[in-house]
Amino acid sequence: MAFILLVAFLPSPMFASPLLSLIHGDKGNENCQSSSESWRKYDINADGKFDSGDINELINRGGQEISFDLNHDGKKDMDDALALFLKLSVLDRSCNGEVDDSDYEPVDPISLPEAPDIQTVRRLVLAMVSKARINLPFDIEDQAFRAVPPDEVMTLADRAYLYQIAGLSGLAQRNLDAAIWGFGRSFQTDETSPGAIGSLGFCMAASDKDDEALLLLAYARELFPESAATATSLGWMFARHGQNDEALEYLRQAVANTPEIAQYHMNLGVLLMRMGREREAFEEFREAAERDPDDPGKFLFFYATKPPEEPPVKKPLDPEEFRKARDIEIGEMQELGYSEEELPEPWDQMSPCDQATTIPEILERKNAARMEEIARQYANDAASRIDELIKGYWPKWKNITEDWNRYVDGVQVISRLGPVIMKNAEKMAGNESASLTREAGAELLGYSSFFMESAIRQAESDAREAVKRFSHAPLSAKALVELKAEAYKDALKNAMEYCYKRQIDQAYRWMAAEGTTYGLPNPTIEALTTENFFMLFLVIPQRCFDIKGYCPDGEGADAKEPNVEYSNTVGIDLFIIKIEWNPATDEFELNLGQGVMVGMTWKPETGFGVQVGLGFHGSAGFMSGEAAVWARLDEGILTIETEMENSLGVGPINYGKEKCVTQAAFSIYNGEIFL
């Protein structure tokens, strides 16, 4: 499992960039000299290499001065600038993020050897671990097991797993010594794990130790022939040596063995592009984008890889569509009571530049409306799932002991799974939002010709207005021509910035949108909530007064106690104002409100803190109770807590028991929030 997860952490097989097949004389490729020169036209900033800096430079210019048509649509525009990201992966043989002449230097071919015996593998691993250990902290072993309680008994498989985690951590930090040590120690602990030895093999390949890497990968392949991760690493190695046919075989195996991993489709797509098989690469990038909608890179590669016979499909700009959208906006503002002076201009009365700058706003509003509907669907689905979960633990109202035990069992399950259901729904909604944003970016980019025309028309209009101011000045014909030329030059510069480049920059940002959690609205369906369930802490005992025979023997000797600690509290309850002291923590609380509550806390160690929450507070006779969710800020630590309390009292004075469970904690430092 750890080996498979390699693709989630490193620019390793996922960004594998095989040598151009021209090194081995494949048909249809340029000779080595001409190919080594071909990358230079992409060196936009003239620093002697082609890398992401060149692409950003071109994008910052608004996609102007593009001299190549990478997507075969007959135009040299911003689409071709974005296609350079794929071109960089295709040309970068050494996988170091840049292309220069070294990517075209011949390298020796490699071959997969016979799997070595276990003694040979042991000697290799020992040598690798010993060498890597020299460059690591003296307490690296302690660091790997720091999170394990000292009294916990661990199996060999448990220890091997923790070493693999250490190896993955090293990869994530680009520390190959730490990765080699972690994976090597994992294998030394459990020699039956193909993941550990395969991961170690990849690390050696990344360190340019191809002979050792191939031996380890051959051994890993013998242990687990169906390993997609091993096949991917082998494909990556053969690609780096320009052996595209062999690389293709292994990368196809990876996709066949584990088709659900989007990155394997990306790897295969890059190699197919290298081999000139754009139609097949296009399908692999499509598959990758659909399987991983959270990754803008996969969408970008799919967008930029239309085969020659299928140029990018761009939605033609329909002015009528935007005129109607503008009219709807104006109508809505009129209904809200805006005056005529406050209303925006109708589409037909806007300047060319204003029309260009309004298009992103209209697309954004359209996306927001679509996303509102999608988010509501996710909210309803999450509410339905939580409702179904809660009903499994909901009281049957026949016997208090049975209901209480069911409730206690449910507290642990619902408090754990309820937030997971919501978080998953928010994550999926965030992926949908990012996908819509990227689609809007592609649509906006498709209007680049309109933005350019708008800039030119705006510049002509502004230049005419500028020259009019000098119409009565005694100027010669030559001076007037020079004045018009200078005015148009200045006007065009400004118009290109505001009418064209800003919209192109916005399109690029939208196309690079990444999926994040999306705040869901309240569900529109009737369903039980976690708050309903936790309030049973107060409701179940009170039903003894409402249901005959519900509590025949009092509380019941077989009733379970919730698996959480309770704290004693002493307080003054004035309905919407409550003052409370917790003797165990020596904390004082002052809370105000009902439903939405705000409060202040004080402890001798930390001083004052603030909190805001949602909850309910009520009483019946001598009994009172409270259930709430609090967000508390104290000494730079933000905690999310659920709290339930049951108390008895006479008048405003009461004595109770309180249960408080921390759901999450965040540290706020230098304006950043850390979980």
Asked whether the predicted pLDDT for residue 451 surpasses 50, the reply is: yes
Task: Output 291 or 627, whichever has higher pLDDT.
Answer: 291
Question: Is residue 528 located within the same domain as residue 619?
Answer: no
The 3-state secondary structure of 324-345 reads HHHHHHHHHHHHCCCCCCCCCC
Q: pLDDT confidence of 479, banded at 50, 70, 90?
A: confident
| Terminal Cα distance for the chain, rounded | 25
* pLDDT score at 19: 24
Inside any domain, residue 47: yes
Residue 675 pLDDT level (bands cut at 50, 70, 90): very low
User: Comparing 672 with 216, which gets the higher pLDDT?
Assistant: 216
Domain boundary among 104, 131, 154: 104
Bridge partners, residue 393, by sequence:
none
**Selected residue with higher pLDDT from 456 and 30:** 456
Same domain, 358 and 469: yes
Determine which helix (DSSP H) or strand (DSSP E) holds 597, and give its type and residue range: strand 587-603
Predicted TM-score (pTM) of the model is: 0.64
Are residues 62 and 196 located together in one domain of the fold?
no
89 and 187 part of one domain? no
pLDDT band at 357 (very low <50, low <70, confident <90, very high): very high
Residue 238, pLDDT above cutoff 80:
yes
Q: Are residues 529 and 454 in the same domain?
A: yes
The predicted structure's pLDDT at residue 24: 28
pLDDT band at 374 (very low <50, low <70, confident <90, very high): very high
Asked whether residue 544 is assigned to any structural domain, the reply reads no
Residue 573: pLDDT band with limits 50, 70, 90:
confident
Residue 551 lies in a domain: no
pLDDT band at 535 (very low <50, low <70, confident <90, very high): confident
Does 421 map to a domain? Answer: yes
Number of domains in the chain: 4
pLDDT > 90 in the chain, percent: 35
* Three-state DSSP string of 205-246: HHCCCHHHHHHHHHHHHHHCCCCHHHHHHHHHHHHHCCCHHH
Domain that holds residue 259: 4-12+108-304
98 shares a domain with 165: no
561 with 408: CB under 8 angstroms?
Answer: yes
Confidence of residue 620 (pLDDT cuts 50, 70, 90): low
| Res. 16 pLDDT band, cuts 50 70 90 | very low
pLDDT in tens, 24-58: 223 333 333 334 458 888 998 889 999 999 988 88
Are residue 378 and residue 396 in the same domain, yes or no? yes
Angle between helix 176-189 and 118-133 (nearest 10):
140
Are the C-beta atoms of 192 and 219 separated by less than 8 Å? Answer: no
Task: Note whether residue 344 is domain-resident.
Answer: no
Pick the more confident residue, 129 or 628.
129
Specify the 3-state DSSP secondary structure of 346: coil
pLDDT band at 12 (very low <50, low <70, confident <90, very high): very low
Which position has the higher pLDDT, 3 or 460?
460
Rounded (to 5) percent helix, strand, coil in the chain? 55, 15, 30
Question: What is the predicted pLDDT for the residue at 266?
Answer: 94
- The predicted structure's pLDDT at residue 387: 94
Residues 624, 475 share a domain: no
The last residue of one of the domains, among 70, 104, 138, is 104
More confident site: 519 or 36: 519
- pLDDT of 543 > 60? The answer is yes
pLDDT of 124 above 90:
yes
Whether the per-residue pLDDT at 517 is higher than 60: the answer is yes
Same domain, 359 and 252: no
* 126 and 92 share one domain: no
DSSP-derived secondary structure letter, 18: P
Q: Is the pLDDT score of 260 beyond 90?
A: yes
Decide: 68 and 41 in contact? Cβ < 8 Å: yes
Q: In this prediction, what percent of the chain has a pLDDT beyond 70?
A: 81
21 with 242: CB under 8 angstroms?
A: yes
Per-residue pLDDT reduced to its tens digit, 66-100:
888 887 777 787 788 888 889 999 998 888 889 99
- SS3 sequence of 420-475: HHHHHHHHHHHHHHHHHHHHHHHHHHHCHHHHHHHHHHHHHHHHHHHHHCCCCCCC
Boundary of a domain, candidates 484, 512, 533:
533
Shared domain for 216 and 147, answered yes or no, is: yes
Looking at per-residue pLDDT, the higher value among 135 and 485 belongs to 135
Domain assignment of residue 541, yes or no? no
Tell whether the torsion through CA atoms of 115, 117, 122 and 127 is positive or negative: negative
Q: How far apart are CA 235 and CA 16, in angstroms?
A: 9
Q: What is the pLDDT of residues 383-424, one digit of tens each?
A: 999 999 999 999 999 888 888 888 888 888 998 898 999 999
Residue 316 lies in a domain: no
Average pLDDT, the chain: 81
Residue 332: inside a domain: no
Q: What is the pLDDT of residue 4?
A: 30
The CATH number given to whatever domain includes residue 33 is 1.10.238
* pLDDT digit string, tens, across residues 294-313: 788 888 888 888 776 665 55
AA identity, residue 569: T
pLDDT band for position 633 (cuts 50, 70, 90): confident
DSSP characters for 282-322? HHHHHHHHHH-TT-HHHHHHHHH---TTS----PPP-HHHH
Rounded average pLDDT over 12-18: 31
3-state secondary structure (DSSP) of residue 667? strand
Q: Is the pLDDT of residue 636 over 80?
A: no
Three-state secondary structure readout of 60-88: HCCCCCCCCCCCCCCCCCHHHHHHHHHHH
For residues 99 and 185, membership in a common domain is answered with: no
> How sure is the predictor about 578, in pLDDT bands with cuts at 50, 70 and 90?
confident
